[in-house]
Amino acid sequence: MMLAMDKNKLIGKEGGMPWHIPGEMAYFKSVTMGKPVVMGRKTYDSIGKPLPGRPNLVVTRNAEWSADGVQVYTSLDLAIAGAVEYYDLQASNSDNSTIAHNTAEHTTEPPEVMIIGGAGLCREAMPVTQRIYLTHIDHAYEGDIWFDSFEWNDWQIVSRKDNELDGLKFTYFVLERAA
Ligand SMILES: NC(=O)c1ccc[n+]([C@@H]2O[C@H](COP(=O)([O-])OP(=O)(O)OC[C@H]3O[C@@H](n4cnc5c(N)ncnc54)[C@H](OP(=O)(O)O)[C@@H]3O)[C@@H](O)[C@H]2O)c1
């Protein structure tokens, strides 16, 4: 999972983000690039176009919904299966060719399926989530969507990077399930 939240777990405002933090999108891009990104339909609408360089998988209950450059699924389970299939295809392509197609296969990390929000989809994905890339912004914003499925006590900190920009403090956490 990858999300950014404020000190009250706020993540959204009126269909968009409550803040603009220069550099935060670049960090999001660096973590997710080359990996399948799974998102709720409202999060897709808030972005408005497919994220380049990543398979975009959108979950909606509306079987009629479509958008150019994205794969559409009617359940989270089907979307995760679609993301796994993507990695299977990458692996079989690289078996048949000397050309490397995916950065993930060159790391010692297992391939990651990235759930990128919003709150609705995260609620359902939380039980199967093993790692969270969580940006914590040390400020209280106004908004209307919260990362309410997240509990600090369920997670241990693998790494953290503290940042400060114009007096605003924010931290990039990597969290894994507490034992
Ligand atoms: N701060 C962050 O890191 C971050 C990240 C992502 C999003 N956001 C913000 O969060 C807000 C959007 O989040 P949200 O919670 O309102 O919506 P969301 O989770 O992005 O999308 C909800 C929609 O996804 C579909 N959906 C969700 N679960 C499903 C399931 N199990 N099976 C089938 N379809 C399912 C449904 O689409 P249909 O209605 O089409 O059926 C549902 O209405 C925006 O403000 C966005 O900017 C913030």
> Span 98-119, mean pLDDT?
71
Residue 105 scores a pLDDT above 50? no
Q: What is the set of domains in the chain, with CATH numbers?
A: 2-177 (3.40.430.10)
Residue nearest to atom 11 of ligand 1 (CA): 12
What is the percent of the chain where pLDDT is above 90? Answer: 85
> CA–CA separation, 15 vs 88, rounded Å?
34
Q: Rounded to the nearest whole angstrom, what is the distance from the C-alpha of residue 140 to the centroid of ligand 1?
A: 22
Q: Which atom of ligand 1 is nearest to the CA of 65?
A: 40
Give the model's confidence band at 108: pLDDT under 50 very low, under 70 low, under 90 confident, else very high: low
What's 110's DSSP letter?
P
| 24-73 pLDDT tens trace | 999 999 999 999 999 999 999 999 999 999 999 999 999 999 999 999 99
* pTM, rounded to two decimals: 0.93
- State yes or no: pLDDT of 100 exceeds 70: no
For residue 92, report the distance from its CA to the centre of ligand 1, in Å: 32
129 pLDDT higher than 50: yes
SS3 of the chain = CEEEECCCCEEEECCECCCCCCCHHHHHHHHHCCCCEEEEHHHHHHHCCCCCCCCEEEECCCCCCCCCCCEEECCHHHHHHHHHHHHHHHHHHHHCCCCCCCHHHHCCCCCCCEECCCHHHHHHHHHHCCEEEEEEECCCCCCCEECCCCCHHHEEEEEEEEEEECCEEEEEEEEEECC
Q: Which amino acid is at 4?
A: A
Summary mean pLDDT of the chain:
93
